[in-house]
Amino acid sequence: MEQIKIITPEEVEAKVEAGEAIELVDVREDEEVQEGMIEGAKHIRMNDIPANLDYFDKEKEYIFICRSGRRSENVCHYLQEQGYKVTNMDGGMMHWTGEVIVK
């Protein structure tokens, strides 16, 4: 199995603050996202990823986020096997210190 690329929450925050065009996907459950998510992130629950493959573009890279980094890592393995460019945010929202928005 190919190694999944990782990015730290601090690196993601720097990219967000710099206004970089990054694709963030939050795979947490609805009730977790209600506590706050990174602005600009797309919310697609982990179990809904297979039904939403048409959202993803194989030419773009996506950064996946969950609470601790485990579910998003699983999503990364799945999508990487499908030929998508993926990166996992290490430590998940538990290590996020930046701004969050509440939906």
Task: Give the separation between CA 100 and CA 103, rounded to whole angstroms.
Answer: 10
The structure tokens 């290590």 sit at 95
Task: Give the separation between CA 23 and CA 31, rounded to whole angstroms.
Answer: 22
Task: Give the separation between CA 69 and CA 94, rounded to whole angstroms.
Answer: 9
Is 66 marked active-site? yes
Q: Annotated catalytic residue: which of 12, 25, 49, 66?
A: 66
List the catalytic residues.
66
